[in-house]
Amino acid sequence: MKATWNGAVLAESDDIVTVEGNAYFPRTSIDCSYFQESPTHTVCPWKGTASYYSVVVNGHENRDAAWYYPDPKPAAEEIRGRIAFWKGVKVTP
């Protein structure tokens, strides 16, 4: 699978975990040069607290376009160390 936005490949991997229709990529598969920490956090009752990254490509920012669970609850342990995308990031096979 491949995650792209604004002409850049953000992540690429065959090791994908799908949860609630979202493809979670291994952290090791992302191109860190496109990611900036965000102060945004949200809470999922069964996965835990999510943290976010904004994606910046060619001077354009896609705020909070990637999220991850740094310390997921036991029911979501399979997504530990993984990142998912939204907000126009295309995830394709």
Domains of the chain from N-terminus onward: 2-92 (2.170.150.40)
For 13-61, how does the pLDDT look when each residue is reduced to its tens digit (9 = 90+)?
Answer: 999 999 999 999 999 999 999 999 999 999 999 999 999 999 999 999 9
Predicted confidence band of residue 79 (pLDDT cuts 50, 70, 90): very high
Instruction: Kindly tell me the burial class for residue 23, based on how many C-beta atoms sit within 10 Å of its own C-beta (0-12, 13-18, 19 or more).
Output: buried
CA–CA gap between residue 62 and residue 48 (Å, rounded): 23
Residue 55: predicted pLDDT: 98
Residue 70: predicted pLDDT: 98
Beta strands in the chain (DSSP E): 2-5, 8-12, 17-19, 22-26, 35-44, 48-57, 60-68, 82-85, 90-92
CA–CA gap between residue 69 and residue 19 (Å, rounded): 12
Residue 76: predicted pLDDT: 98
Report the pLDDT averaged over residues 61-89. Answer: 98
Q: Is the full-model pTM beyond 0.85?
A: yes
CA–CA gap between residue 1 and residue 77 (Å, rounded): 21
Residue 83: predicted pLDDT: 98
Residue 72: predicted pLDDT: 98
Which pair of structure tokens corresponds to residue 2?
């491949």
